[in-house]
Structure 1
Amino acid sequence: MEKETIKLSVLTRLLNYALADKKQLGVALGLLFLASVADVSGPWLIQHFIDNNIAKDSFPTSELVILAAAYIGLMITTAWLRYLQSLRFNELAIGVVQTVRKQLFGKIINQPLSAFDYMPSGKLISRITNDTESLKDFYVHVIGTVLKNVTLILVMLVAMSLLSWRLTLVVLVLLPVVVGVMMLYQRNSSEAYRKMRDLLADINASMSESIQGMSLIQLMRQEKAFYNQFSELTAKHLAAQRSVIKLNGFMLRPLIDFLSGVALLSLVALFGVSGVELIGVGVLYAFISYLGRVTEPLIELTQQLSLLQQALVASERIFGFIDAKQQGYGDDPKPLASGRLECREVDFSYDGKQPVLQGINVGLSHRGFLALVGHTGSGKSTLASLMMGFYPVGKGLISLDGRPLSSLSHEVLRSGVAMVQQDPHILSASVRENVTLGRQSASEVDDRVIWQALEAVGLAEQVQRYDEGLDTLLGSGAANLSAGQKQLLALARVWYRKPKILILDEATANIDSGTERHIQQALNNLRQDMSVVVIAHRLSTVIDADEILVLHRGEAVERGKHHELLEYDGHYRQMYQLQQLGDHLQQLEGERGIDETSRTEKQEAG
């Protein structure tokens, strides 16, 4: 009962979207009614011809011409009205699907990050593409077909009752039986369609993850394993499709055809009992014609149940996202005046069970430099995400500019705090669009400011070498950037945006020492009017920090400046010594390589 209530509410919600444009819907329904009347009038004209001309052996030329012209005119009118009605319904349907798709995407991009922690990107893409396509089929085919056929059946029943109420009763017996078949089909096919849609989402997720991790798959020689996994999913999807096809093959057209045959035999039997003196040959022809026309809409209606079932299953998931809780923000619209940041007794857990951060206390003054260091899994990136407002604090308080972070509006938080991650995302767009990120319209973008941003981070010279300059396409376009250049481009975005707080999450992890110096220079420029929080494994990048916070298993175990922490025999000193040893070994390896190369060259020269 609960599932049926959910489906009814989903169906009602889908219909409400169509009712939003009442004028368009009203015109389409009017055209539909006129087309149905014109369509039903054809058999009536033929019945008139049989009973008043053929049966009486009377064929006046003028009357025959009028009947023929009227019949041809009705067929042309019916086709034209159907065409206009179909256009109206398709325009209405496509508009509704576009509205739903925009709503869905808008809700997804405003979901809290916790909603994406355990949701593969392939499944999200499936929601936006495949599920909304099912809605398109619902509006274009299901609603249009149902309205057309229901209207046609009602008009035909009225015409049949005017001809003979006795024969109309025979046809009316067929309708509740067909409705019962439709309800039985809907009940038995629901779970099969849901399983099929879920498996399709899993297939999309598998493809997306395999393509994204292609280098890892080939590196670890896991092509066969991933192929087998994908094959297993497609086999399950095929099995689900087969079960649906079997259900359709048994309960749709064959069963309706059987019921129609029973009704037709009943009409013939009634005609034989009643005799022509009660109904006439023309009336019987009209009824047989109408019965055929009633049967086809009923079969078509039943066949649309498969699309309806898919649409209901897809809609449950779509509305689940649309109705999901959105990222929460405050209502304080005052921009940040400084980059002052403070964390007081901050606790956090992703799942509410396993603590990730416990009792974190740290402060950062305006234009200050805070470093977060620690081994992998210590909670550094989680603390940075809390500072960005990506997750709500479990316990304690984070304040920016002396105000609780939770009280700040979306605009204030996102314009006041920026983050550069380890692998910045580069759009498949121009350099200009990658720097501005659509924050201004094309007419408001000042290229001089963009060049100043690129100059401030040391990337202007590189962009000047491109033939197209700021119009050069990046990402999958004409130019590819190295890991270090991506970091510099991300810093140019920050300079262009000019926030009050900048957070760098492992921004120097995968770059060479030369690029690291560029980033350090860019940071020095950026720190003139903003505070900087740096998460780093390479401790050489945080030597000048005003305060270094050492995290271990979610707790702050040490804090102080670089030289102070080196004097204390703790985690930081051990990490620093290990990195110094590693750098020294790399240097020795490099010198050995140079000596061997030199020795080889001398031997070849000798």
Structure 2
Amino acid sequence: MNHLIEFWPILKRLILYIKPYKKKLIVAFIFLLGGSISEVLGPILISYFINNILSKHALHLKIIFIIIILYIILQILSVFFNYFQSILFNKIAVRIINTLRQDVMNAALQQPISEFDSQPIGQMISKVTNDTEVVKELYDTVGPTLFRSVILIFIILCAMFTLEWRMAIIALLILPLVLTIMFIYQYYSTPLLRKVRYHLADINNKFNETINGMNVIQQFRQQKRFKKNIKKSSDLHYLARMKILRLDGFLLRPLLSLLSALILSNFIFLFSCFPIEAFEVGILYAFITYLGRLNEPLIAITIQQAILQQSIVAGERIFSLIDSPKQKYGKNKNIFTSGKINIKNISFHYKNSPKNILENININMPSKSFIALVGHTGSGKSTLASLLMGYYPVTQGKIYLDNKSIDSISHSVLRKNILMVQQDPIILSDTVLSNITLGRKISEEKVWEILDTVCLSSLVKSMPKGIYSLLGEEGSNLSVGQKQLLAIARILVSRPKILILDEATANIDSGTEQLIQKTLLSIRKNSTLVVIAHRLSTIVEADLIVVLKKGKIVEFGKHKKLLDSKSYYWKMYKFQLSKKL
């Protein structure tokens, strides 16, 4: 019963995507109907030829010629109608899938960052690609085939009742048996199909993980272990698929073929029991032909039941993503007049961990100030930066940006006024220009001005096509420092009121670090700088240094004051100095 409850709402929702294409769909169904009628009329002509001409030896050449011409015309019409209905259904299906993929991708783009912490990327990719491709079959295969099959069954039964009602009643007995088989198939196949989709997504996820981590895998000779993991997932997928195939092999074609054979035996028995005059040979031929024709749509319906179930399971996975909670933002669209930050009594823990990462954090950051967050790994620095960016909802305490509660600020205003440069910036496999503008409208002159500011203009000029030169995947043809400078160039397009640098200078040489420091001085004139520092030498000029330990503030003040106190910060600073020596 639960399977039926889940089945219909998802099917109804998938059918709603057809609404914009109603007119084209009606035309496609008319072509489909024309093709079906053309197919069914053929045996009636042959039956007429056997009963009225062949059996009576009345060889009227004119009538025979007309029958042949009509039969050829019917076959040509059948081909014509079936070709155009196939083209139309496929066009509609592709457009619907484009819309569905856009909805899925839009939902993925609006997912809270916390979802990416817990959900494997491969599972999400599988929903956008594999699952939507499975749903496509609902529109271009299942729908047309079911409609065509139902129409064929109806027309064939009408033709049978017109020719001989007793034999038609016997043929009719196959329908309730087929419906019973379909319900049994649906009941047992749904959980198996869910497993198939899950294991396929798991395979995609492991391939994604393996390819992205290929350097580490080869470096530590982990090829066998990863191969074993993928093989395990593939075996589970294979076993689930085999269960489906066994179910198909038993409940679909063999069982239906057996039912058709039993009906045909009844026809022969009925034909034998009655006087020869009661049934004409042409009628028996027509019934045998129609039974074969009737068998095919019934088998087609049952096979489509399998594809339909796969589409429903795929649709269930797709809608689970579309319906999942979106990243929430406020409605306040007032522009920022300052870069003031006020953090009050913030405590925070991640969804899958009850332990607080941050504990009762209170910081006041004036506009255009330079604030540094320092501490050992796991102290909560990056988590605090993510909260300032609005990546996670604030559940305990308050964060105010420009005297506005962060949960009241609209998405457009928040993203325009607070930006982050991360330790490992994302570089798109696109042109230098596209990597800087990211879709924002800006002149080429302004781009070159920004490249001069971040000291990248000479590098870009040396490239074959200048700012139109393609960067490799993840910026493979750039150094770590050049990636950081390019990430800062993006920031300079809009000049945010608040800029966060999450250990942006941790992996770069001292020369590039000086270039970044120089660039930051120009940004600081208009923006509040929040720097998560690994190298303490880079934040000696900070207006306020906040020292975190295990999610708590243990010290705060200026560089000199913290050194004079000879506490936690002093130990960190001395340790780094000793490493340099």
TM range (shorter): over 0.9
Moved more, 103-112 or 175-184: 175-184
Equivalent in the alignment of 1:282: 282
State how 1:101-250 maps to structure 2 within 5 Å: 101-250=101-250
Structure 2 matches for 1:199-598, cutoff 5 A? Answer: 199-351=199-351, 353-440=354-441, 445-476=442-473, 480-584=477-581
Aligned residue in 2 for 1:589 = none
CA distance in 1, matches of 2:528, 2:337: 12
Give the secondary structure class of the aligned counterpart of 1:358.
strand
- CA shift, 1:536, in A, is 1.0
The superposition leaves residues 401-432 of structure 1 with CA deviations (integer Å, 9 ceiling, x where unpaired) of 11111111111011111100000011111110
Q: 1:559 to 1:170 in 2, by over 3 A?
A: same
SS in 1 for 2:292: helix
CA distance in 2, matches of 1:323, 1:478: 34
Task: Please tell me whether the aligned partners of residues 35 and 81 of structure 1 are also in contact (alpha carbons under 8 angstroms).
Answer: yes
Name the CA distance, whole Å, in 2 between partners of 1:194 and 1:276: 55
Q: Answer with 53-62 or 318-327: which moved more.
A: 53-62
**Structure 2 counterpart of 1:13:** 13
Q: Is the 8 A contact 1:19 1:25 kept in 2?
A: no
Deviations for 1:173-231, whole angstroms, at most 9, x for unmatched residues? 00110111122122122222211111111111111111111111122221111111111
Query: 1:538 offset after TM fit, Å?
Result: 0.9
**1:70 maps onto 2:70 in alignment:** yes
Structure 1 gaps, min length 5:
585-606
Contact 2:111 2:326 in 1 (8 A): yes
Q: Contact 2:142/2:307 (CA < 8 Å) preserved in 1?
A: yes
| 8 A contact 2:428–2:474 mirrored in 1 | no
| Greater mean deviation of Cα atoms: 350-359 or 542-551 | 350-359
Matched position secondary structure for 1:371: strand
Superposition TM-score, scaled by structure 1 size? 0.94
The range that moved more, 423-432 or 454-463, is 454-463
**What SS does the aligned partner of 2:331 have?**
coil
Identical positions, percent: 44
Structure 1 SS opposite 2:376:
coil
Residue identity in the other structure for 2:545: I
What is the TM-score when the length of structure 2 is the normalising length? 0.98
In 1, Cα distance between the equivalents of 2:33 and 2:231? 49
| Residue deviations 1:114-137 (CA, integer Å, cap 9, x gap) | 111111211211111111111112
> 1:362 and 1:155 mapped to 2: Cα distance?
78
How has the CA–CA distance of structure 1 residues 170 and 19 changed in structure 2, closer, same or farther, with 3 Å as cutoff? farther
C-alpha contact 1:472 1:478 (8 A) present in aligned 2 = no
Gap regions ≥5 residues in structure 2: none
Q: What code does the residue aligned with 2:153 have? A: I
8 A Cα contact 2:3 2:190, kept in partner: no
Q: The residue matched to 2:328 in structure 1 has which SS?
A: coil
Give me the whole-angstrom Cα distance separating, in 1, the residues matched to 2:64 and 2:464: 79
Deviations 1:134-177 (A, max 9, x none): 11122221112111111111111112112122111111100110
Show CA shifts across 1:84-133 (max 9, x none). Answer: 11111111111111111110001001110011111121121111111111
Aligned to 1:81: 81
Q: Secondary structure at the match of 1:57?
A: coil
Contact kept, 8 Å, 2:428 with 2:475, in 1: the verdict is no
Task: Measure the CA separation in 2 of the matches of 1:15 and 1:55.
Answer: 51
1:302 to partner: Cα distance? 1.4
Aligned partners of 1:108 and 1:321 also within 8 Å = yes
Amino acid at match of 2:202: D
Q: Which amino acid aligns with 1:312?
A: I
- Paired AA for residue 487 in structure 1: Q
Distance 1:162 1:279 in 2: 13
Shift of 1:476: 3.2
Distance 1:221 1:477 in 2: 24
Cα 1:3/1:182, change in 2 over 3 Å: closer
Local SS of the residue matching 2:363: strand
Corresponding residue number in structure 1 for 2:50:
50
The 3-state SS of whatever aligns with 2:138 is helix
Distance (whole Å) between structure 2 residues aligned to residue 173 and residue 3 of structure 1: 27
Q: Secondary structure at the match of 1:329?
A: coil
Asked whether the 8 Å contact 1:349–1:394 carries over to 2, the reply is no
After superposing on structure 2, the runs of 4+ consecutive aligned residues of structure 1 that deviate more than 4 Å are none
CA distance in 1, matches of 2:479, 2:266: 80
Question: How far, CA to CA, are the matches of 2:282 and 2:108 in structure 1?
Answer: 61
> What is the alpha-carbon distance in structure 1 between the residues aligned to residue 128 and residue 237 of structure 2?
20
Please tell me the residue identity of whatever aligns with 1:328: K
Structure 1 residue matching 2:278: 3-state secondary structure: coil
User: C-alpha root-mean-square deviation of aligned residues, in Å?
Assistant: 1.4
SS in 1 for 2:545: strand
User: Per the alignment, do residues 475 and 7 of structure 1 end up closer, same or farther by CA in structure 2, a change over 3 Å counting?
Assistant: same
Kindly state the Cα deviation for residue 497 of structure 1 after the two structures are TM-superposed.
2.0
What's the offset of the Cα at 1:478? 9.6
**In structure 1, C-alpha distance between the alignment counterparts of 2:43 and 2:487, rounded to whole Å:** 73
- For the 8 Å contact 1:112–1:391, the answer to whether it is kept is yes
Which amino acid is 2:433 matched to? Answer: R
Instruction: Indicate if the aligned counterparts of 2:426 and 2:474 stay in contact, CA closer than 8 A.
Output: no
Contact 1:343 1:363 in 2 (8 A): yes
Aligned in 2, Cα 1:477/1:338: closer, same or farther, shift over 3 Å? closer
Query: Secondary structure at 1:117's aligned position in 2?
Result: helix
